[in-house]
Structure 1
Amino acid sequence: MDHVEGISPVQVGRRIRDLRVKLGLKQQDLASTDISASYISLIESGKRAPSDAVLTTLASKLRCSPDHLRTGRDDHALEDARLKLSFAEMALRNGDNGEALQAFGELLAKPALLDASMLLRARIGQATALEKLDRIEAAIPVLEELSKDPALAAGSDEWCRVSVALSRCYRNMGDVTLSIEIGERALTRLDALGLDVTVDHIQVGSTLIGSYVMRGDLTRAHLLAQKLLPVAEDKGGRAGRGSVYWNAGLVALSRRQLPEALALTERALAMMADDDNLRHVAMLRTNVAWLELQSDHPDPARARHLLEDAGQTLAELGTAVEQARCELILVDASTQLGQWDEAVSHARRALGLLSSGPRVEAVGARVRLAEIHLLREETYEGLQALHAATRQLRHFAPSYETAQEWRRIGDVWKRQSRAQEALEAYDQALQASGMPMTYDPAQSLAQQGHG
């Protein structure tokens, strides 16, 4: 959106005349070797539209900015808005997301004070702050509007940020199909520009790999990761390369190639360790810790150390969901170390962080609580937690994530020698992963006999 659009030469001319009169100047005083007094008269009467060069010359004599002559915006108000925008963006980088959101909102409440580039930065900042505050349902409409803005040119840095954020938000809301459609559409638009694979491809592609993995489409995820890895090595910055290795690690993990997954994620962490995006580094430490616990020779002490470092950063910069995921892996590390009281505390903290809305991670916290209670032979409490997790999980749409939680619930029932409950959970896991029930000929025969 550009506030200069639609402004007539009459308005520009009137502003020039009013300023000239206010300063006690004559038309001749504005004239120069390139601009005659008669031309000044035509501009002031609205019969000529001045070029940018002419406006710049006139603005210097009228003691204002060219933008003020074009739009009428107060120069002091514009400078104040620039300072406020810089403050909001700094607050966002420092993890003061609430403060940033308030500042962006105040700026957007008076859009006439912003030029086109400032308005775009404020809208993107608002969406980013909403996402970081886990207000994803509020962030999506802002990102949708931005994605349809004709001023957002495909291939620009802002376009890439919006495309990636929109795909990521839909994925985090559980709409993996739409997330993938957005990512694939963005890659198609980049390809249509006729460029070689760029850093933008890396950013969009990394997000798309994560969505493929969440849907269970491991072949596409693997192929895209293989395509992006050499490009990332050649063209990507350390953060960009780290992002690709991060997502390639997710692919390897989903294919149960744990040593490869750990190696790829460790490499991503090494690449991004010096990056100024501390939140991403903390999330990577969380991933490495989780993979460490899944390996053939786990080191829960090292995992806990990584998670404690990550937790401190995420407490300042991360979303509630990211903090909760860190707490859940701390549950696993503490359990492996036999520190059950700590494990329970971490699980309850995770539930507290997830109390604002329905999250699959909350199911994971309850299942872990059930496991700990059962390990401590607190059977009643364990079964209560397990039943609560089961009831909550039934409200979620089928997905790769819900299939994992159903599998975990089934495993807990199996360890309790509760075969019927285990079979029901495993059946739910199969259905959530997209594998329907097989045809039952006995049921068909029974229906025919009834008829």
Structure 2
Amino acid sequence: MPSQGTIGDRVRGLRLNRRMSQAQLAGPDLSDSYVSLIESGKRTPTPVVARLLAERLGCTTEFLLHGIEPRQRIDTELGLRHAELELQHGDPAVAADRYTEIVKVADEENAMLTAQARFGRARALEAQGRLGQAVEAFERLRREAAAHPERLADLPITIALSRCYHRAGDRLRARDLASKALEQAERMSIEQGEIATDLALALVEAHSDRTGDSAELAFVKRVLDVAGLGEIMDRSGEVRALWRASATAAAGEDSALAVRLADDAIDAGRDQRIALQAARAAMRWARLDWAPVDEAERFSSAAERVFASAHREHERGEALIVLARVMLRAAQPERAETLTGEALGLLGGGTAAAEAHLVRATLAVARQASPADHLNAARIVLDGAGHQAYGTDRTVARCWRELGDLYGQVGDRSQQTAAYRKALEAAGVRSMMAGLPVDATIAR
């Protein structure tokens, strides 16, 4: 049974397979010219006409309209849900493979399901850190969403692109996309839910150099106020149990039940996903130099509680470091030291651990004690941090710059210059800087 192409292609293919003329297919209810217009794509049959044509052509209305039979469609829907669960709670590489298989099966048969699978695959590529491929995929999807809004929603794609460009180091592009997404969200009064929290995080990352009076950061503040940032219940066990039950139902060919159970699993994890995104936005807000100390303390403390309740130890450690920096601003060095100690107990390494040592080195300098041990520890951690996609990592660059500042404060010019050079390398400046002295004002 032919299934490729448009509704008109399927009507014509089925008619020819049954050796029917257009007049025979039209019968007493339709005109043969109307059938011709449907086959040429100039008319779309109404639901009533579609049912009539399907009956005469010996197929289901579902197949005529969408190119796949009801069982095929429900299996594709189930595949999309299981791929989403793999992306959210499993392995993004496996999720990417599952989305790719769905695209192969559904291609040209159901444009909406295919588009959803391609969007899922782009998100899975992003989750793996394959930013170049993710950006290419999201850009294609954004063009398709502009041409076919009935298939794809543009807003989530724009937000995803802003995230990817920010991670890749193209802050101007990230900022432009985040602002465009904000315009669309505000037209529809979207200030809560997954889209709102995703957008809030993208905005606070892309517009971190703006003041609190900007429209972008005012939106972030509204979203965080609505989110509440309370402790959350970890429902990962429930998610996995429902996911397993869905897979068991699918194996027993009970597809409808499998879809329902998969939906329940996705819904069970939704509140936690929203809370985690809001906590990440709050943590980045608390990093802003101009943020009032009391507000920064409130947001970083709330983020730490959310990460703790979700058992996200690494992110909890990051939140503790942000809170420690706030305590430095609040002139509470003892609490800052306690917080960094707690953070180092949660972190195995990476730039977050380097930040903890940098805070402790800052405390030592303020006490006129030797910060050498903490500076060396931070340098060793950063040396092993490596670089992210495209050879750049703004977080690593920021830490190297701070390390250079601290070496400058204790008068170690050699280490200061080396640290500033590392900061420039991490930010993507390499060959042009080879052999040149680095001025501190430039590095800053």
The bucket for the TM-score relative to the shorter chain is: 0.5 to 0.7
d(CA) in 1 for partners of 2:36, 2:19: 15
Residue 263 (structure 1) aligns with? 298
Instruction: Report the secondary structure of 1:188's partner residue.
Output: helix
Instruction: Report the secondary structure of 1:109's partner residue.
Output: helix
* In the alignment, structure 1 residue 251 sits paired with structure 2 residue 303: no
CA contact (8 A) 1:232 1:240 kept: no
* 1:335-376 deviation line (CA, Å, top 9, x unaligned): 99xxxxxxxxxxxxxxxxxxxxxxxxxxxxxxx9x956957x
Deviation at 1:143, TM superposition (A): 0.6
Deviation at 1:112, TM superposition (A): 2.9
* 1:1-27 deviation line (CA, Å, top 9, x unaligned): xx998543x741552575699xxxxx8
d(CA) in 1 for partners of 2:441, 2:100: 53
* In the alignment, structure 1 residue 419 sits paired with structure 2 residue 413: yes
Q: Which amino acid aligns with 1:101?
A: A
Bigger relative contact order, structure 1 or 2 (CA pairs below 8 A, ≥6 apart)? 2
Selected match of 2:217 from 225, 229, 249: 225
Q: Which amino acid aligns with 1:287?
A: E
The change in CA–CA distance for 1:272 and 1:37 in structure 2 (over 3 A counts) is farther
Q: Which amino acid aligns with 2:47?
A: D
Residue 319 (structure 1) aligns with? none
Residue 303 (structure 1) aligns with? 343
d(CA) in 2 for partners of 1:222, 1:90: 36
Selected match of 1:99 from 94, 106, 121: 94
d(CA) in 2 for partners of 1:67, 1:391: 52
Residue 343 (structure 1) aligns with? none
Structure 1 residues 384-399: aligned runs within 5 Å: none
The change in CA–CA distance for 1:152 and 1:405 in structure 2 (over 3 A counts) is farther
Which structure 2 residue ranges, 5 or more long, are not aligned? 229-270, 328-332, 363-370, 428-438
* In the alignment, structure 1 residue 128 sits paired with structure 2 residue 123: yes
d(CA) in 2 for partners of 1:437, 1:328: 21
Selected match of 1:290 from 302, 305, 321: 321
Instruction: Report the secondary structure of 2:206's partner residue.
Output: helix
Deviation at 1:288, TM superposition (A): 1.9
* In the alignment, structure 1 residue 15 sits paired with structure 2 residue 14: yes
Deviation at 1:129, TM superposition (A): 0.7
d(CA) in 2 for partners of 1:398, 1:91: 27
CA contact (8 A) 1:304 1:333 kept: no
Structure 1 residues 37-76: aligned runs within 5 Å: 37-39=27-29, 42=32, 46=36, 50-59=45-54, 64-70=59-65, 72-73=67-68, 76=71
Q: Percent identity?
A: 19
The change in CA–CA distance for 1:102 and 1:328 in structure 2 (over 3 A counts) is farther
Q: Which amino acid aligns with 2:14?
A: R
d(CA) in 1 for partners of 2:196, 2:382: 44
Deviation at 1:173, TM superposition (A): 0.8
The change in CA–CA distance for 1:123 and 1:113 in structure 2 (over 3 A counts) is same
d(CA) in 1 for partners of 2:210, 2:112: 39
Deviation at 1:114, TM superposition (A): 4.4
The change in CA–CA distance for 1:161 and 1:45 in structure 2 (over 3 A counts) is closer
Deviation at 1:149, TM superposition (A): 1.6
d(CA) in 1 for partners of 2:54, 2:308: 48
Q: Which amino acid aligns with 1:134?
A: G
Deviation at 1:78, TM superposition (A): 4.0
CA contact (8 A) 2:103 2:114 kept: yes
Residue 409 (structure 1) aligns with? 404
Structure 1 length normalisation: TM-score?
Answer: 0.60
Deviation at 1:141, TM superposition (A): 0.3
Q: Which amino acid aligns with 2:225?
A: E
* 1:388-412 deviation line (CA, Å, top 9, x unaligned): 689999x977968624422213424
* 1:277-332 deviation line (CA, Å, top 9, x unaligned): x69x5664243232355443123554356x36xx8xxxxxxxxxxx9456656878
* 1:416-447 deviation line (CA, Å, top 9, x unaligned): x52354367569979x8xxx9889xxxxxxxx
Q: Which has more radius of gyration? A: 1
Instruction: Report the secondary structure of 1:140's partner residue.
Output: helix
CA contact (8 A) 1:303 1:333 kept: no
d(CA) in 1 for partners of 2:31, 2:150: 43
Q: Which amino acid aligns with 1:219?
A: T
Residue 353 (structure 1) aligns with? none
Deviation at 1:123, TM superposition (A): 1.0
Q: Which amino acid aligns with 1:247?
A: A
Structure 2 length normalisation: TM-score?
Answer: 0.61
Instruction: Report the secondary structure of 1:405's partner residue.
Output: helix
Q: Which amino acid aligns with 1:229?
A: K
Which structure 1 residue ranges, 5 or more long, are not aligned? 22-26, 31-35, 312-322, 337-367, 376-381, 440-451
d(CA) in 1 for partners of 2:297, 2:112: 42
Residue 236 (structure 2) aligns with? none
CA contact (8 A) 1:154 1:160 kept: no
CA contact (8 A) 2:145 2:154 kept: no
CA contact (8 A) 1:414 1:422 kept: no
CA contact (8 A) 2:158 2:181 kept: yes
CA RMSD of aligned residues (A): 5.2
The change in CA–CA distance for 1:60 and 1:92 in structure 2 (over 3 A counts) is farther
CA contact (8 A) 2:350 2:381 kept: no
